Amino acid sequence: MPSRISDSCRPHHSQKHFDLNSIKELPESHAWTSSNDHYTQENSCNFESIPVIDLDNNNNNNNNNILDHIGHACKKWGAFQIINHSISEKLLQDIEVAGKTLFSLPMQQKLKAARSPDGVTGYGAARISSFFSKLMWFEGFTIVGSPIEHARQLWLKDYNKFCEVIEEYEKEMEKLAGRLMWLILGSLGITKDDVKWAVGPKGETKEGCAALQLNSYPACPDPGRAMGLAAHTDSTILTILHQNNTSGLQVYQEGNGWITVPPIPGALVVNIGDLLHILSNGSYPSVLHRAVVNRTRYRLSVAYLYGPPSGVRVSPLSKLVDHRHPPLYRAVTWSEYLGTKAKYFDKALSSVRLCVPLNGFTDAKDHKGVQVG
Ligand SMILES: O=C(O)CCC(=O)C(=O)O
Ligand SMILES: [Fe+2]
C-alpha cells in the first residue's frame, strides 16, 4: 500500500477520540444536516438493488454468462454482490469476530495502536474526515500486510489468533481480487496479454498492493442525523467488502438516488474503484457509496482495498482506445493517485482527465445534486 494514503488520513478536527459506544445523545459535532456537505438521508423507493452474481461456473452454463452478468453490473451499478466465491463461511465468521474483539476493547487500549498523523495503519477516524465539517459515526482500523505490531500494542499477549485470521483473510482476498479483476477486464474483452504489468513470468497474476480496512459503526442514538461513512468512491482497482448482517451500505445511482445493498449471508460486495474507472477508460465508472447507521444494531464491515503493484502506472488500456475513443485519463501510479485524491477528493478523477469525451460522458462523481466534500 503506497505511503501517500497517509495524506488522506489526516483529520482536521481536534484529535479528540469519541467513545461512540457510551454516547447517549448525538453531539453537535456528529449531527449532519442537509446544509452539511450536501448530506441527504433520503433513500430511494426503488426496490431494485445491485445484482447478485454466482461465481460458480456450473451454475452459469459457462464463463461467458458470468462475464455478461459482470459487465452489465459494472456498467449499470459499478458494484455487485458475489456468491460461491470460495471464501469459506468460517473465515468470514472469524474475521467478524476478530473485528468485534478489536473494536470492543476499551478506548485507551485501542489508542495504543492509533494511526499516527503521517501513518497509514492503525486505529482512527475515517480517512476522508478532513473533507467534511461534521464527524462520522465511525471508527476504523487499517492493516497493511502483517498486523503483528499493532496486535502487540493492543493485547500485549494472546494476539496470535487475531494475526492468523487477518493473514489468512488477506491471503484469500488477494486470490479472489485477482480473479475478479480478470473477470471484470474479461467482460471488456481484455486478456492477460493486454495487461503486462499484472502478469508474472509464469503467467501468474502479480501480487498487487492492498490494505485491509475494518470499519465499526456502533448503534447510534439519532441515526437520522448521523453519518457512518460519508459518500466517496474508493481509490482502488476494486474493493471486496464483507458486511455483517446489518444493513448500512448504500450505492448511488443516477436517477434513483441512494440504494441500500442488503446484507446476504455469505455474500461479498464488489465495488469498482477509481483505478478501474481509469483502466476501462470510463466504461466502468467507480461507484459512489456511503454507510448509514442505525439505532439498535452494531454494524461491522471489512473492506479489502486492492490496487496495482507499487510503481505501476495505470492508464486506459490500449485495446479500449482508438481514434473515436481517445484516452480520457493520464497514467498514474496508485501512490500518485492517492496523493491526488487527498488533495481533490471527489474531483480527483477529473483532475487526471485528459480531455472531455466525445459522447459527453462525465465522471461518476459528477452526479447532479450529490457533491461530496
Ligand atoms: O461499511 C461499509 O459498508 C462501507 C465501507 C467503505 O466504503 C470503505 O471502507 O471504503
Ligand atoms: Fe468505500
pLDDT tens column, 162-207: 999 999 999 999 999 999 999 999 999 999 999 999 999 999 999 9
Question: For residue 337, what pLDDT is reported?
Answer: 97
Ligand 1 pocket: which of 213, 237, 242, 275 to mutate (most atoms <8 Å of CB)?
A: 213
d(CA 137, CA 216): 9
Could you tell me the three cell numbers for 68?
455478461
d(CA 165, CA 212): 12
Separation of CA 229 and ligand 1 centre (Å): 7
pLDDT in tens, 78-106: 999 999 999 999 999 999 999 999 999 99
Residue 60: which pLDDT band, with cuts at 50, 70 and 90? Answer: confident
Helix residue ranges per DSSP H, the chain: 63-76, 89-103, 107-110, 148-155, 160-186, 274-279, 334-344, 348-351
Could you tell me the three cell numbers for 112?
495504543
- Average pLDDT of span 195-221: 96
Three-class DSSP category at 335: helix
Instruction: Yes or no: say if 63 and 57 are a contact pair by the CB < 8 Å rule.
Output: yes
Q: Which domain holds residue 173?
A: 51-352
Question: For residue 6, what pLDDT is reported?
Answer: 37
Total number of domains in the chain: 1
60-64, 163-167, 191-195, 265-269: which range is least confident on average? 60-64
Kindly state if the Cβ of 303 falls inside 6 Å of ligand 1: yes
pLDDT in tens, 105-128: 999 999 999 999 888 999 999 989
Kindly state if the Cβ of 248 falls inside 6 Å of ligand 1: yes
* HSE-CB of 294 using CA atoms within 13 angstroms: 10
Question: For residue 301, what pLDDT is reported?
Answer: 98
Question: For residue 358, what pLDDT is reported?
Answer: 55
Is 299 a catalytic site residue?
yes
Kindly state if the Cβ of 289 falls inside 6 Å of ligand 1: yes
* HSE-CB of 163 using CA atoms within 13 angstroms: 16
Quick one: DSSP state of residue 345? G
Beta strands in the chain (DSSP E): 52-54, 79-83, 122-124, 139-143, 209-217, 229-232, 238-243, 249-253, 257-260, 268-272, 289-291, 299-307
Kindly state if the Cβ of 291 falls inside 6 Å of ligand 1: yes
Q: Could you tell me if residue 250 is inside a domain?
A: yes
Q: Could you tell me if residue 229 is inside a domain?
A: yes
Return the number of other C-beta atoms located less than 10 Å from residue 284's C-beta: 25
Q: Could you tell me if residue 45 is inside a domain?
A: no
Among candidate residues 4, 127, 290, 299, the one labeled active-site is 299
Q: Which atom of ligand 1 is nearest to the CA of 249?
A: 3
Residue 13: which pLDDT band, with cuts at 50, 70 and 90? Answer: very low
Separation of CA 240 and ligand 1 centre (Å): 10
d(CA 97, CA 300): 10
Three-class DSSP category at 199: strand
Q: Whose atoms come closest to the Cα of 213: which ligand?
A: 1
Kindly state if the Cβ of 301 falls inside 6 Å of ligand 1: yes
Q: Which atom of ligand 1 is nearest to the CA of 232?
A: 7
Q: How far is CA 235 from CA 94, 159, 230, 271, 349, in A?
A: 27, 31, 15, 11, 10
Task: CATH number of the domain at 133, please.
Answer: 2.60.120.330
Question: For residue 355, what pLDDT is reported?
Answer: 74
- Average pLDDT of span 232-249: 97
- Average pLDDT of span 268-288: 98
Does ipTM top 0.85?
Answer: yes
Instruction: Yes or no: say if 228 and 125 are a contact pair by the CB < 8 Å rule.
Output: no
d(CA 180, CA 187): 11
Q: Could you tell me if residue 6 is inside a domain?
A: no
Residue 8: which pLDDT band, with cuts at 50, 70 and 90? Answer: very low
pLDDT at 69 over 50: yes
Question: For residue 47, what pLDDT is reported?
Answer: 67
Ligand 1 pocket: which of 139, 142, 229, 294 to mutate (most atoms <8 Å of CB)?
A: 229
- Average pLDDT of span 35-42: 62
Separation of CA 232 and ligand 2 centre (Å): 6
Separation of CA 289 and ligand 1 centre (Å): 8
Q: Could you tell me if residue 31 is inside a domain?
A: no
Q: Could you tell me if residue 279 is inside a domain?
A: yes
Share of the chain above pLDDT 90, in %: 80
Q: Could you tell me if residue 172 is inside a domain?
A: yes
Separation of CA 82 and ligand 1 centre (Å): 16
Higher-confidence residue of 302 and 62: namely 302
- Average pLDDT of span 116-144: 94
Place of cell 472469524: 94
Question: For residue 63, what pLDDT is reported?
Answer: 73
Ligand 1 pocket: which of 289, 298, 302, 305 to mutate (most atoms <8 Å of CB)?
A: 289
Q: Could you tell me if residue 358 is inside a domain?
A: no
Separation of CA 237 and ligand 1 centre (Å): 15
